[in-house]
Chains A and B, each alone.
Chain A
Amino acid sequence: MTLFSIARKNIKRNFYNYFLYFASMIFSIVIFFTFVSLQYNDQIVKATTMKVDGAFKAASVALIIFVSIFIWYSNAFFTRKRKKEVGLYSLLGVKKKQIGLMLFYENFVMGILALVIGVILGALLSKFFVMLLMKLVGAAAVDVHFMISGKAIIETVIVFAIVILITSFEGYRLIYRFKLIELFQAEKKGESTPKASIFAAIFAVILIGFGYWLALDMSLGIWSNFLFTVFLILAAVVIGTYLFFRSLSVYLLKLSKKNKRYYYNGINIIGTSQLLYRIRGNARVLTVIAILSAVTLCAFGTSYSLYYTNKKSVETQYPFSFAYISQGPALDHKVNEILDQAKDHKVTNTVSVPALKFEADLPDMDNPPSQYFMDLRRVTLMPQSEFNKLAGELGIDDKIHLKGNHAIALDNEYNANYSPKYKGEHAIIHSKPNKATLEFIGFKEFNLLNREVGGLTVVVNDQLFNQLSKANPVANIKEINVTNAADAGQLSNKLADILPEKAKFSDFYKAYKGAMSASGIMIFMGAFLGLVFVLATGSIIYFKQLTEATADKDRYDILRKIGVSNKEIKGSIAKQILFIFALPLILGILHSAFALASLSKLLGQNIVIPVLISMGVYTLIYIIYYFLTVNSYDKIVKAKKRI
């Protein structure tokens, strides 16, 4: 019987034990392969700009790191379960080298098997997976034909071959790393409690603060080397987090231990001591969870923010599904006919707005709004009575009352940093017979006319409008709202076909799809990484809980024997796990808040709402994880017989 065949038999016999490890390896490989395939997808390569390409590379590096940590973690979990078995071999007189080789083979065989299965599964599932994700993020505009890429296979094989070799070598070293006695009584001794050093705590806070400062400052462009800065931020925050947990958790626990009134109160004594018992391991896990939470939140937050701001800006630029400048009743009639025929889209709103278009000078503005240039240096005047009526119809609670030549600009692309301040600034319109001057007294951050027809819209009082309309042609702007405007592609094409160029046909659909396909890949990537990291956080917690629950079972059996009720035990477990869950969540949210604040600066956009929504969603998922963990832990601990 060769060593290799013993290893093979071991795998066969302990399949259940191996299964978790095996499954997590396959999971990692499938994820990685799917992502890399996407990166080498011809269409995406064509569609991606330089920026997205960089993001892809950064994301795949992040994935490699994550996947290695994840496999290393599962491997550690798995070898711990086998320490006793290894000890037994040694006791029975198998040479250390042989045991080492056997473990190496085992790991290696499993790794190669996982790699083969993972790539096959990845090839089969990734198309489905990608389509599902696309649907999920609503990025249907990114139409990806999936194909298996040779490059992706090669890259996956290389990355995982290295990871597998390293873990196999770790397996080989297992027998050399521990004394026989240690293999037999794994988990018996408590970890020596690190000292709650105040210096470590301060140093941790300084490191994290430094990371935050860099993140916020980076957006100001002080640090020219982007990648290096990112690396520095990551290193500072990760190390800081670890030190923070190590010192803070010890400090908190020791404090609660000192307070005998709390400590000697019912089951508290159990929970606190359990946490202190595994303090080093806990600090590591807390760090990993905090970092993963932060990464997940950043991925979710970034993608959702882009999605949100894109959607929002399209929505403000296009308050109506369709708009055009009327070219006479005959054409209007045709348009209405087409609208009536559309089955999937019901007209919910039709308005007709009189407007005057003038070439104009904006002498006071250093940086006139882009709509002005887009409309060939023209402004669109609309009377205030129309504004008030339309605003009422769209449910906007806003009324305008102007005097004389006062005017209000409707600038839906307003940005506090770049836009003109309007108030007190002037517009000189080239009206007939004489030029006229309007004085802005303010602006609104929305428009009631679609971008192409409205340009820079200016509201004036009715008297002035009527006066100007005597000598100048009044355009009649038609605006229509329909249901499901985001899917109204066909309808939009039909309308575009019959309307001439000068009608300046403007539709929400085209703008929406354009914005979505531009940010679609980013959104997709963010959602993809976010999903992976949420799953990873869940699995790491799951592994930890499984290991500890099994190790702690005896302890809870003793407690039950000396008279602790099941309810009290569950309460204690819930408290312990809350400690493990709550601390990293708080820090993870804080980390991501700074990262996203930096992003917000880079984008020059306010993303508070999407970020808060992402955090809310993540916290919700996290809370679900928490209750699941408490329940499974409790179940394992209460199980009558060991499996």
Chain B
Amino acid sequence: MKVMLEAGNVKKVYGQKGHIYTALKDINLEIKEGEFVGIMGPSGSGKTTLLNILSTIDQATSGSIRIDGNDIGKMKEEQLTSFRREKLGFIFQDYNLLDTLTIEENIVLPLALSKVKAKEIDRRVKEIAGKFGIEDILSKFPYQVSGGQKQRAAASRAIIANPSLIFADEPTGALDSKSATALLQSLSQLNVKDHATIMMVTHDAFAASFCSRVLFIKDGVIFTELVKGETSRQEYFQKILDVLSALGGGKGDLI
């Protein structure tokens, strides 16, 4: 299987002399094509920093990152921009939908930006809206729909351009459990049926149990990892909880 993402000795330091804070000490990881990888860890462990760096939104202090064979450390700002547009998809905790656009327009945005033909755009948006069950709200504005619908719209936007890699940052963080489950199931479907590669940061063990592999970070290093393999989701969920309690963060901090 092809390696989709490869990070070697990634380090991130914030601040200047005297007030240095090391968010990531030394991260090495690899994500293969078709994997659904979760990143977990207590607050302040550096998981969001890691996601931002891997997804090219932030820059690492040192270390190398390759996505789909491209060394993103060597790319210039302009190149990174088009790289993000063509190869990556994003789902954020606070949706990051544009409130000036309708749901449909939000979803087609990446295609419009890449100047795909209008007919092709129409076809794709119908297909994807069907997948996420949001056909009815396409003409509505973000402030007119629920959080779960917004997040599904954001997920649709993330995948519409067929990205090599999808990054999800606490996608269920602002959703009620029903919406969260629906979204996670959609992502899981996407992973299983369409072989999408997904990396998801979460602090919710339930959300993480949908992944095929979970990496745990603590204090800026990868502490351990847990592969789902043939275990059921319930068993996997239990195992994740075990690791989390071993990690030391109180349970209240995790859910």
* A residues apposed to B, CB below 8 Å: 188-190, 260-261, 263-270, 273-274, 276-277, 555, 558-568
Contact = CB atoms under 8 A, between A and B. Distances in A.
A563 B81 contact: yes
Highest count of chain B CB atoms <10 Å: which of A266, A273, A276, A277? A273
B90 A561 contact: yes
Contacts of B85: 562-564
Contacts of A565: 77-78, 81-82
A308 B19 CA distance: 68
A558 B77 CA distance: 16
A567 B101 CA distance: 21
A278 to B, nearest CB: 9
A188 B90 contact: no
Given A188-B143, A269-B109, A563-B81, A261 B118 contact: yes
A561 B96 contact: yes
Nearest to A269: B112
Contacts of B141: 190
B148 interface: no
B5 interface: no
Contacts of A266: 112-113, 115
A124 B97 CA distance: 53
A411 B240 CA distance: 104
Contacts of B109: 269, 562
A276 B101 CA distance: 10
Nearest to B96: A558
Contact of B100 (A265, A277, A563): A277
A566 B77 contact: yes
B88 interface: yes
A562 B115 contact: no
A273 B113 CA distance: 14
B108 interface: yes
Contacts of B208: none
13 contacts: A189-B99, A264-B108, A265-B112, A265-B115, A270-B100, A270-B101, A276-B100, A561-B90, A563-B81, A563-B110, A564-B85, A565-B81, A566-B77
Contacts of B88: 563
A270 B108 CA distance: 11
A637 to B, nearest CB: 14
Label chain B's interface by main secondary structure.
Answer: helix
Q: Would you list the 7 A-B pairs with minimal beta carbon distance, nearest first?
A: A563-B85, A563-B84, A260-B118, A277-B100, A565-B81, A264-B112, A273-B100
B86 interface: yes
Contacts of B92: 561
Contacts of A190: 99-100, 141, 143
Q: Among B81, B83, B110, which residue has the most Cβ atoms of chain A within 10 A?
A: B81
B111 interface: yes
Contacts of B90: 561-562
A569 to B, nearest CB: 10
Contacts of B83: 563
Contacts of A260: 118, 121-122
Residues of A contacting B: mostly: helix
Contacts of A264: 108, 111-112, 116, 118, 121
B105 interface: yes
A189 B143 contact: yes
Given A264-B108, A274-B100, A558-B96, 19 more contacts: A261-B118, A265-B115, A269-B105, A270-B101, A273-B98, A273-B101, A273-B105, A277-B100, A558-B97, A558-B98, A561-B84, A561-B90, A562-B84, A562-B109, A563-B85, A564-B113, A565-B77, A565-B78, A566-B81
B81 A564 contact: yes
Contacts of B122: 260
Interface in B65-110: 77-78, 81-86, 88, 90, 92, 96-101, 105, 108-110
B57 interface: yes
B11 interface: no
B152 interface: no
Nearest to B86: A563
B213 interface: no
Interface string B125-150: 00000000000000001010000000
A565 B76 CA distance: 11
Contacts of B115: 265-266
B157 interface: yes
Contacts of A188: 99, 143
A277 B157 CA distance: 21
Contacts of B110: 562-563
A269 B141 CA distance: 15
A268 B146 CA distance: 27
Contacts of A566: 77, 81
A263 B116 CA distance: 11
Nearest to A569: B81
A511 to B, nearest CB: 62
Interface in B141-167: 141, 143, 157
Contacts of B108: 264, 269
Nearest to B119: A260
Contacts of B157: 562
A564 B115 CA distance: 12
B82 A563 contact: yes
Nearest to B87: A563
Contacts of A567: 78
Nearest to A185: B143
Contacts of B86: 563
Contacts of A268: 112
A276 B111 CA distance: 21
A269 B113 CA distance: 9
A260 B105 CA distance: 11
A274 B141 CA distance: 13
A560 B101 CA distance: 16
A565 B117 CA distance: 20
B82 A269 contact: no
A563 B82 CA distance: 6
A180 B184 CA distance: 35
B113 A555 contact: no
Contacts of B84: 561-563
Contacts of B77: 565-566
Nearest to B83: A563
Contacts of A261: 117-118
Nearest to B110: A562
